[in-house]
Amino acid sequence: MSQDTVLELSDITKRFGDLVANDAISLSLRQGELLALLGENGAGKTTLMNILFGHYTADSGDVRVFGGDLPPGRPRAAIAAGVGMVHQHFTLAGNLTVLDNIMIGTESLGQWRSGRRAARDKLLALAERFGLEVDPEALVSDLSVGEKQRVEILKALYRDARILILDEPTAVLTQIEAERLFDTLRSMTREGLSVIFISHKLAEVTAASSRVVILRAGAVVAERRTADTNRAELAELMVGRRVTRPVRQDQEPGDEILTLAHVDVVENSRKQLNDVSLSVRSGEILGIIGVSGNGQAALGRLTCGLVGADGGEMAYDGIKSDRFTPRQLVENATGRIPEDRNTEGAVGEMNLWENAVLERIGDGRFSRYGIVDRTGCRAFAADLIARFDVRGGGPQTPARQLSGGNMQKMILGRNLAATPRLLIANQPTRGLDEGAIAAVHGELLAARRAGAAIILISEDLDEVMALADRIQAIFKGRLSAPIAAGNADARRVGLMMAGIWETDDAA
């Protein structure tokens, strides 16, 4: 290792059965460097970092940290060597305070007195030094997603991490939160901390990193100084081909499928939706754009039948009600892509074929007289895996073994394969790489051409403007009046997202 090299992985290979997740990968990290590990969903990025942190043991290869060999399969050894990891899905106890979460595992069971005061002082000093403001006594369950991520980073720094690994750190952050995070990471590297962040987002890779290592199909295919490359080259290196996103074509929409008229939704004694109205027609995509936390989650729950309206009226195909149950919606060919794929979209311990048919197991295609047609279910899942390029296993693979992006593709596939009349797509491309985003957009536009009515709920302004026929902004639980896509531009929609409508009437 050279004098300024703090980490070196040499010829790391890892297999899961017939799947080669990492194929003789070698890379290094220098002190004070912000290195991006870029690749498609399922390219082997997270597996490689889990080997470094000791969650997995490599089949072959070596890891050296600060000049010393790192024992394989021992997270405590990685932590002791100065390696910290922030996982994509946080590992915090919601019923404990920030300080309690930070201190977990740092004190011996035989210690007769807790060093809570000293721990609090150290935490506050780290928070001030790196600009990671937290309240040590706040319950984690009361924190925003961005605040929880700060706690995870502080937890690693509290254990004296000198190398920090972040797995898809912006997957659940707003744009503003993501920008603040990378400002913080840059300040950390100036103080000598070395950072690897896993990503497939080209904009943040080019804006934040100093060097990029690109993985494809489990192998390193290229390495670039960030200053010497661009998004187009990185996208082509990542997916192995030139990536172009599909373009929406004008078409005449059909009949109204779903309407909301002056609907209120109250949850936990708080009004989440206030006087909301919308309508979506067959062959149309209605885009709902807004900054996270402005009522999108409640709108998703309402339109998927998980909650009812506490005021106003809903109509599906002209039938009026204050609530349509999930069963009614599924029976009427409604599909849903939930915002949280892990807790609402899939059951991790079930196989892919079980997840593929989960919402429609009762129809005649997959069961008869209460007996599940396992052969037919597995064949259906195999078709989904092939059509939607779900990587990481076959029909018998547990869903929890998939990367987040591949799980998202499986959820999308099972809904589009059912030829939905109405599709609720809540953050459908969150966590997907550039190639997968293009494929998902193509599938959504194909469903639109086939006559599906689609409500696209997204925080991605470019996505909504590219796909939607009409756009409404959501702000503090209210919806703007709809505007046609042809009348939309980034400035106008941005103002709408901030609650500034061009009319005083909210839809």
Cβ neighbourhood burial of 309 (10 Å; 0-12, 13-18, 19+): buried
pLDDT band at 149 (very low <50, low <70, confident <90, very high): confident
β-strand pairing of 367-368 with 311-316: unpaired
pLDDT band at 484 (very low <50, low <70, confident <90, very high): very high
Residues 94-144: tens digit of each pLDDT: 889 999 999 987 766 666 667 788 999 999 998 888 888 889 999 988 887
The pLDDT of residue 264 is above 50: yes
pLDDT band at 243 (very low <50, low <70, confident <90, very high): confident
The number of CA neighbours under 13 Å toward the Cβ of 80 is 9
**What is the model's pLDDT at position 1?**
57
pLDDT band at 506 (very low <50, low <70, confident <90, very high): very low
Greater model confidence, 177 or 46: 46
**What is the model's pLDDT at position 56?**
93
**What is the model's pLDDT at position 402?**
84
Q: Name the packing angle between helices 145-158 and 175-190 (round to 10°).
A: 20
The pLDDT of residue 240 is above 90: no
**What is the model's pLDDT at position 122?**
92
**Among 400, 388, 391, CA closest to 428:** 388
Strand partners, 289: 458, 473
- Across 451-504, the runs of DSSP E, i.e. the strands, are 453-458, 470-475, 478-479, 483-484
Q: What rounded mean pLDDT belongs to the chain? A: 88
Record the tokens describing residue 124, joined without a space.
């506050």
**What is the model's pLDDT at position 162?**
93
How far, in Å, CA of 381 to CA of 401, rounded?
A: 16
Record the tokens describing residue 368, joined without a space.
């008869």
> Which residue in the block uniquely carries the two structure tokens 């696209």?
456
Rounded to an integer, the average pLDDT of 348-377 is: 87
Record the tokens describing residue 313, joined without a space.
């009226």
Dihedral, CA of residue 13, residue 17, residue 21 and residue 25, to nearest 10: 10
Q: How far is CA 309 from the centre of its chain?
A: 28
How far, in Å, CA of 436 to CA of 404, rounded?
A: 12
The pLDDT of residue 40 is above 60: yes
Greater model confidence, 11 or 291: 11
108-117, 263-272, 351-360: the lowest-pLDDT one: 108-117
SS3 letters for 369-425? Answer: CCEECHHHHHHHHHHHHHHCCCCCCCCCCEHHHCCHHHHHHHHHHHHHCCCCCEEEE
How far, in Å, CA of 343 to CA of 348, rounded?
A: 9
Q: Does 246-333+419-507 carry CATH code 3.40.190.10?
A: no
**What is the model's pLDDT at position 109?**
63
**What is the model's pLDDT at position 266?**
93
The 8-class DSSP code of residue 144 comes to -
How far, in Å, CA of 430 to CA of 208, rounded?
A: 20
136 close to 121: Cβ distance less than 8 angstroms: no
> What are the distances in angstroms from CA 365 to CA 26, 195, 362, 377, 427?
48, 50, 8, 9, 29
DSSP 246-310: ---------SEEEEEEEEEEEETTEEEEEEEEEEEETTEEEEEE--TTSSHHHHHHHHTTSS--S
**What is the model's pLDDT at position 228?**
95
**What is the model's pLDDT at position 367?**
86
**pTM metric for this prediction:** 0.72
Residues 64-95: tens digit of each pLDDT: 999 999 999 999 999 999 999 888 777 888 88
The pLDDT of residue 327 is above 90: no
Record the tokens describing residue 340, joined without a space.
């949280």
196 close to 50: Cβ distance less than 8 angstroms: no
Q: What percent of the chain has pLDDT over 90?
A: 49
Rounded to an integer, the average pLDDT of 403-419 is: 85
pLDDT band at 167 (very low <50, low <70, confident <90, very high): confident
**What is the model's pLDDT at position 111?**
63
Rounded to an integer, the average pLDDT of 34-40 is: 92
How far, in Å, CA of 126 to CA of 148, rounded?
A: 16
Parts of the chain belonging to CATH 3.40.50.300: 5-239, 246-333+419-507
**What is the model's pLDDT at position 405?**
74
**What is the model's pLDDT at position 110?**
61
The pLDDT of residue 176 is above 70: yes
Greater model confidence, 471 or 343: 471
Q: What is the amino acid identity at position 146?
A: G
DSSP 44-71: SHHHHHHHHHTSS--SEEEEEETTEEPP
> Which residue in the block uniquely carries the two structure tokens 């008869």?
368
Rounded to an integer, the average pLDDT of 418-427 is: 91
* Fold type of domain 5-239: Rossmann fold (3.40.50)
> What are the distances in angstroms from CA 235 to CA 22, 39, 223, 249?
20, 9, 13, 25
pLDDT band at 400 (very low <50, low <70, confident <90, very high): confident
The pLDDT of residue 427 is above 90: no
How many of the other CB atoms lie within 10 Å of CB of 57? 12
* Total residue length of the chain: 507
Strands, sheet with 5-16, edge to edge from the N-terminal-most edge strand: 19-30, 5-16, 60-65, 68-69
Rounded to an integer, the average pLDDT of 3-21 is: 90
Helix (H) or strand (E) holding 311: strand 311-316
